[in-house]
């Protein structure tokens, strides 16, 4: 077992902005070790009064859209404005794909070597529930350490978008211009979640096409219903090479913040997110306890193929498994 500090050591370190202790604290909340659970809970609870004072921004988009490049350029602009920026990631598939775990670190060179920034890859070897729980708590730790903009990147393709949407204040979807089929590859549900669409790589030969794409997206968005929080999803252009549009993206986020704080949505949304987080974690821990049960595991392995083939009724097996779990464990 790795060496752990006392909760007070972590707490003091984090509140004084000690990056090494912040990193170690995040490792603690990411830990799957039974023995770390109590300490991690205590630590997060202790810094809670110092959390919450950041703008939490989720950033998503298909692979190839340039999420890391955007975060690098956008983050650097924020640093130059005097902000302290933390970058977190949610990548439930990282264990298998090993996608951008190391990649991000090296690609975001400017950010990860800058003292005012903090770049942390996604916890690895975890399911979505584990990753998103750890990232949410890491976000609180970063806030307590004084970071005032948290960028949360979705890395995996799949359900991580919903998980990230549920932990941020503002959700940004990066897109590319294309030949009329701009929405190719984007799950329609994702567009619905976005507070802003940013057409990325709007530079050079791409610029004209990006402007057209912007108009197309705006039309498409008008077809859809409003979200009920009096905010119409905006479409913007940006280039991480030229820096074009990055300030407009930030201005829009600030406009959103001001509007949502004045109409009460900002705080009520965070309250709802906390309750959702509670439910998610309960569900995740219940599922984990279920899957760890050796008797359950054995029956599931044995009977799952029979459910798949249609021989055994899923509801019947579910009831049996639950009975088995609670009979004498």
Residues that bind a second copy (CB under 8 A): 37, 41-42, 44-45, 48, 52, 133, 136-137, 140, 180-189, 191-192, 216, 220, 222-225, 270-271, 274-275, 277-278, 281-287, 289-290, 304, 307-322, 326, 329
CB atoms within 10 A of CB 10: 25
To which H or E segment does residue 38 belong?
Answer: helix 34-47
Confirm if 61 and 200 have CB atoms less than 8 A apart: yes
Residue located via tokens 């498994």: 321
Residue 70 or 217 with smaller CB distance to a second copy: 217
Give min distance, CB of 230 to a second copy, in A: 16
Give min distance, CB of 147 to a second copy, in A: 18
For every residue of 213-249, DSSP letters joined together read: HHHHHHHHHHHSPP-SSS-PPEEEE--TTT-TTHHHH
Give min distance, CB of 24 to a second copy, in A: 18
Residue 262 or 328 with smaller CB distance to a second copy: 328
Residue 77 or 307 with smaller CB distance to a second copy: 307
- Four-residue CA torsion sign, 278, 135, 147, 24: positive
Q: What is the C-alpha separation between 314 and 105, in angstroms, rounded?
A: 44
Residue 29 or 73 with smaller CB distance to a second copy: 29
Residue 41 or 81 with smaller CB distance to a second copy: 41
Phi/psi for 6 (5° steps) reads -75, 155
Give min distance, CB of 291 to a second copy, in A: 10
For every residue of 141-210, DSSP letters joined together read: HHHHTT--EEEEEE-SSSTHHHHHHTT-SEEEEEE---SS-TTTT--HHHHHH-SEEEE----GGGHHHH
Give min distance, CB of 308 to a second copy, in A: 5
Q: Which two structure tokens, joined as six digits, stand for 314?
A: 């899923």
Give min distance, CB of 2 to a second copy, in A: 20
Residue 52 or 158 with smaller CB distance to a second copy: 52
Q: Which two structure tokens, joined as six digits, stand for 68?
A: 């890391």
Give min distance, CB of 41 to a second copy, in A: 4
Residue 35 or 309 with smaller CB distance to a second copy: 309
């Amino acid at each position: 077992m790795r060496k752990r500090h006392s909760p007070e050591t972590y707490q003091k370190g984090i509140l004084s902005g000690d990056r090494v202790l912040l990193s170690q604290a995040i490792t603690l909340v990411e830990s799957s070790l039974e023995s770390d659970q109590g300490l991690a809970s205590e630590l997060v609870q202790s810094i809670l009064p110092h959390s919450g004072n950041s703008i939490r921004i989720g950033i998503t988009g298909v692979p190839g859209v340039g999420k890391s490049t955007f975060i690098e350029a956008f983050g650097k602009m924020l640093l130059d404005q005097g902000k302290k920026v933390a970058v977190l990631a949610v990548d439930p598939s990282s264990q298998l794909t090993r996608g951008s775990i190391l990649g991000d670190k090296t690609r975001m060179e400017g950010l990860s070597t800058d003292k005012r920034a903090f770049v942390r890859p996604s916890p690895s070897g975890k399911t979505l529930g584990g990753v998103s729980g750890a990232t949410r708590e890491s976000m609180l730790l970063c806030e307590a350490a004084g970071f005032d903009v948290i960028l949360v990147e979705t890395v995996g393709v799949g359900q991580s978008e919903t998980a990230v949407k549920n932990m941020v204040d503002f959700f940004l979807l990066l897109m590319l211009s294309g030949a009329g089929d701009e929405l190719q590859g984007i799950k329609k549900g994702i567009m619905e979640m976005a507070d802003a669409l940013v057409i990325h790589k709007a530079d050079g030969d791409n610029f004209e096409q990006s402007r057209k794409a912007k108009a197309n997206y705006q039309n498409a968005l008008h077809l859809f219903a409003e979200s009920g929080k009096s905010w119409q999803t905006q479409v913007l252009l940006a280039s991480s090479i030229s820096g074009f549009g990055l300030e407009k993206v930030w201005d829009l986020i600030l406009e959103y913040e001001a509007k949502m704080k004045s109409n009460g949505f900002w705080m009520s949304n965070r309250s709802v997110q906390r309750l959702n987080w509670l439910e998610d974690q309960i569900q995740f821990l219940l599922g984990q306890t279920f899957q760890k049960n050796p008797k359950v595991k054995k029956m599931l392995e044995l009977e799952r193929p029979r459910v798949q083939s249609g021989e055994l009724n899923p509801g019947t097996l579910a009831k049996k498994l639950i009975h088995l779990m609670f009979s004498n464990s």
